[in-house]
Amino acid sequence: MKKLIILLLLIAFGLSGYAEEAFAPVGTSTGQFLTIGVGGREVALGEAVTALTQGAGAVFWNPSGVVDASTNDLYAAYNQWPAGIHVGALAYAYADPRIGTFSVNAKYVNFGEMEITTVEDPNGIGQMLQMTNYAIGLTYGRYLTDRVSMGLTGKLVKEKYGANGYTTLAWDVGLIYRAPFRNLKIGMSILNFSNKVQYSGTYINYSNSDSYLTNTELPFDYWSLPMTFRFGAVIDVFEAGPNKMIAAVDMVHPNDNVEQYNIGIEYAYDAMIFLRMGYRLTAYEGGFSAGFGLKWNMITLDYAISALGHLGLTNRLSLGFNL
C-alpha cells in the first residue's frame, strides 16, 4: 500500500515537471471544455478544492473524493458562460461500504447556434455549424486505509465542429490523505491523461501558399488534451459552537499554461449555511470568486459568482441530493 502511494506521487510530480516550460504554452491543447470548473462550492472557493471536494461532484476535480458520497448521491451543476454558452455536469454515485463507491458522470457544453463563415463569405453561408463537446465517465473510488482514499475515472471524450472531430479515452486519478490534526486533508489528482488526438477530415492552410494556391487539403495535426496535475490541502482554522471556518490552497500545473495557485476560505454556521470566497492568484483573466451554500436535510444548494476579466462575471450553480 505504501509503495503504491509513493509510486502515484512520483508519477504525478514527474508529469508536473514534464509539463513545465520557460513560457506559457497557451493554445497547445484541445478539449478546453474539460478545464471549465463546475460546482458552486468549488468555484466559490477559487477552485482550491483538490483535497476538500467530496461526494458525486468530486469526480470533476479529484475522483478520490467520491468515497465520501452517501449510499445514493445525485449531483447536477450548471454554468452560465460568456457568449451564450452553457456548461453542464451530471453525476450519480453509489456507495457500498464493502467494495467501494461507483459513479457514472457526464460533462457537456451547449454552444447554441453559430453560422458557418468562410474566407470567401465572412458574413456566413446560411448554414449552421453543428458543435458537440461532451465527456462521459465511469469512476471507482475506495479507502485504501482508514486515512487514504483513491479514485480512478475512465471517460470517453468527444469534440466535434461540423465534419471535423475526434473521440478518445482519457483518465483521471486521485488520492486524498486525511491527517488526525484539525481535519487536515492533503490531496492530489491528475486529470485528462490521454494519448494525443487528431481531428478527422482535412483543411486548407491559408497561411501556406502551397496549400492555398493549389487548393491542397491537409490533415490536422495531433493535439494533447489539457492534462492537469493538482495538489492541495485543506484544514480547519476555527471552530466554536455552530461556527466553523476552513481554509484551502491548491497548486495547479497544466500542460498548456503556467502554474497556478488557488486559495479559498469557507465559513459554516451549524453546517447549514455557508459563505465562501476564493482567489486564483495567477489567473490571466479574473481570479476572484465568492458564493454561498445552503444545506437542508438531504438537499444541498451551492452558488458561485466568479470574475473572468474582460469577459465579465459568470454564474455557477450546483444541486446535490443525498438519498
What is the arithmetic mean of pLDDT over 110-132?
Answer: 82
27 has pLDDT over 80: no
**So what's the pLDDT on residue 123?**
81
Q: pLDDT tier at 19 (50, 70, 90 boundaries)?
A: very low
Percent of the chain with pLDDT over 90: 67
pLDDT at position 257 is 83
pLDDT of residue 8: 54
For the cut 90, the answer to whether the pLDDT of residue 152 exceeds it is: yes
Q: What is the pLDDT of residue 115?
A: 82
- Average pLDDT along the chain: 88
Average pLDDT in the 74-82 region? 94
For residue 148, give the nearest of 119, 180, 124 by alpha carbon: 180
User: What pLDDT, on the 0 to 100 scale, is given for residue 130?
Assistant: 85
Q: Quick one: pLDDT at residue 2?
A: 53
Most confident of 7-16, 206-215, 223-232: 223-232
Q: Classify domain 2-197+227-322 by CATH number.
A: 2.40.160.60
- How high is the pLDDT of residue 3? 56
pTM (predicted TM-score): 0.88
Q: What is the pLDDT of residue 211?
A: 60
Residue 210 has pLDDT above 70, yes or no: no
pLDDT at residue 18 in the model: 47
Which range is most confident: 156-165, 210-219, 280-289? 156-165
